[in-house]
Structure 1
Amino acid sequence: MASLRDLGLSEYEARAYRALLNTGPATAKELSRASDVPMGRIYDVLNSLEQYNLVRSQTASRPKKYVAVEPATALDRLLEDKKRELDAQAEQYEEIVDDLSVELDAAEPVEEQFWTAAVGAENAVDLLIERLAAAEDRIVVVGSDRSPLFDVSELGILAVDELESALDRGVTIEVLLTPGLVDSLPPEVGNRHRRTLSEHPRYEVRTAPNVAGTFNLIDATEVTIHVPHPLEPDEPFGVIDLKDPEFAADVQELYGPRWEAAEPLSF
């Protein structure tokens, strides 16, 4: 059940405010009795509620009386306070991430062979986007309508977001697709390519009919490969990610001539 404590009030503050709504204007002593807030704490509680702008005081009266601000106004004020608090925390976390990024990026990369796999659509898409986000120099995206693909709408939009970020950090991107895959892309993906990517000098898309697999080549050291289901060849199963410069060089050697022979795609 929702509580005023969820918006930042203490138990005593919540009890005092609710009691004041019921009593109407009341002195501190009267409110202490109505709310069961100890008399030794009631003034601190009322001062705190005044700082939240949840109560108003009538200083001309003796003894001083207090009245509750209307609930709608009070809740709006508490909500705005909580939003400001969360915004400040978000900024603090962003600064921490910036500091840690510099510190962690300073570590020397370990140049050892490594592979991992993700099974299922959600895990596979997460892995693909993660590896695109790790690129520092060059991304090659190869896609074929003759290989099983994960949801093109979801993956396409997420990939465009990540490719935009990669371009912003200086990465060069080559995209090689079969004409059939180009025709099957959702309109929103094509529109995003036209609006935000196609004019970028480090981004180029070409088409070629002789592309059979779907994979990404990242920084000439890493390859992510779409894997079909072993029992349902037309269905995607997962993604294998191999960090192996020698294997990546072999992939580049086979990919290079196809890229050179491919036709530029006009948007």
Structure 2
Amino acid sequence: MASLRDLGLSEYEARAYRALLNTGPTTAKELSRASDVPMGRIYDVLNSIEQYNLVRSQTASRPKKYVAVEPSTALDRLLEDKKRELDEKAEQYESIVDDLSDELDAAEPVEEQFWTAAVGPEETTDLLLERLSAADRRVVMVASHQSPQFDISEVGVLITEQLEEALSRGVEVDLLMTPGLVDSLPPAVGKRYRRSLSDHPDFNVRTTDAISGTFNLIDDIEVCIQVPNPLDADEPFAMIDLKDPEFAADVHETFQPTWEEAEPLSF
């Protein structure tokens, strides 16, 4: 059950405010009895909820009297305070992330061979988006007509967003697709491509029928290879991520002639 404590009030503050709603204008002594807040704490509690703008006081009277602000106004004020706190926390965390990013990026990358794999559509997409976000220099994406990377609207939009972010970091992106995949692009992806990607000088798209698989080459040292579902080739089964500069160089050497012979795409 929701309570005023969920919006930041202490137990005593919540009791005092609720009691004021029932008593109407009253003194601190009377409120202490009505709310079961100890007399030794009641003034501190009243000062606190007055700072929240939940009560108004009549300073001219002796003894001083207090009255509760209407509940709808009080709740709105508490909500605004919480939103402000969350915004401040978000800014604080963003600053921490920026500082840590600079510190962690300064570390020398490990060049040893390493591989990992993700199994299942969601896990496969998450791994691909993660590796695209790690690109510093270049991304090569090769996608056949069987690729689920672009033919599922939500996934396609997520990947397009990641490519936009990569381009904004100065990453060069080369995308090679089959003509059949181009025809199957969902409208949201095609629209975003035309608006945000097609005119970018570091984004190049070509098409060819001479590809049958799907993989992604990242910074010339890492390859993400899609493994199709053996029971349904249109669905992803797994993604293998292999960090191996020698293997990546071989993949690029094989890719380059196909890229050069492919046709530039224009929407």
TM-score (structure 1 length as normaliser): 0.97
Aligned counterparts of 2:14 and 2:147: Cα–Cα separation in 1: 61
Supply the distance in 1 between the matched residues of 2:8 and 2:147 (Cα, whole angstroms).
54
Superposed counterparts of 1:182-261, under 5 Å: 182-261=182-261
Q: Name the residue aligned to 1:79.
A: 79
- Aligned to 1:110, what secondary structure does the other structure show? coil
Tell me which amino acid in the other structure corresponds to 1:181: L
Q: Is the 8 A contact 1:147 1:234 kept in 2?
A: yes
For the Cα contact (< 8 Å) 1:138–1:173, is it kept in 2?
A: yes
Which one is further off, 233-242 or 219-228? 233-242
3-state SS of 1:238 partner = strand
- CA contact 2:124–2:236 (8 Å) conserved in 1: no
1: CA distance, partners of 2:85 / 2:149: 43
Q: Hey, what does 1:153 align to over in structure 2?
A: 153
8 Å contact 2:151–2:184 — kept in the other structure?
A: no
Q: How far is the alpha carbon of 1:254 from its aligned partner?
A: 1.1
Q: Write out aligned runs for 1:1-267 (5 A).
A: 1-146=1-146, 152-267=152-267
Letter in 2 for 1:60: A
TM-score normalised to structure 2 length: 0.97
Indicate if the aligned counterparts of 1:148 and 1:228 stay in contact, CA closer than 8 A: no
Q: Relative to structure 2, which stretch is displaced further, 125-134 or 56-65? A: 56-65
Deviations 1:147-198 (A, max 9, x none): 5668621221111111111111110000100000010010000000000010
Q: Tell me, in whole angstroms, the C-alpha distance in 2 between the residues paired with 1:224 and 1:97.
A: 27
Partners of 1:91 and 1:3 in 2: CA distance: 27
Unpaired segments ≥5 residues, structure 2: none
Q: Which runs of 4 or more aligned residues in structure 1 lie more than 3 Å from their structure 2 counterparts after TM superposition?
A: 146-151, 230-235
CA offsets, 1:83-124, max 9 Å, x none? 111111111111111111111111111100000000011111
Root mean square deviation, CA, Å: 1.2
Cα separation, partners in 2 of 1:66 and 1:146, compared to 1, 3 Å: closer
Please say which of residues 239-248 and 138-147 is displaced more in the overlay: 138-147
What secondary structure sits across from 1:60 in the alignment? coil
What is the CA–CA distance in structure 2 between the aligned matches of 1:147 and 1:67, rounded to whole Å?
66
Contact 2:151 2:185 in 1 (8 A): no
State how far apart, in whole Å, the 1-side matches of 2:196 and 2:150 are: 23
Rounded to whole Å, the distance in 1 between the matches of 2:174 and 2:6 is 50
Instruction: State the shift of 1:211 in Å.
Output: 1.0
Letter in 1 for 2:72: A
Contact 1:149 1:226 in 2 (8 A): no
Identity of aligned residues (%): 76
Question: Take 1:221 and 1:166, find their aligned partners in 2: how far apart are those partners?
Answer: 17
Which amino acid letter does the alignment assign opposite residue 53 of structure 2? Answer: N
Instruction: Please state whether the residue corresponding to 1:235 is helix, strand or coil.
Output: strand
Once the 2 structures are TM-superposed, how far is the Cα of residue 230 of structure 1 from its aligned partner? Answer: 3.5
**Are the structure 2 counterparts of residues 136 and 170 from structure 1 closer, same or farther at C-alpha, using a change threshold of 3 Å?**
same
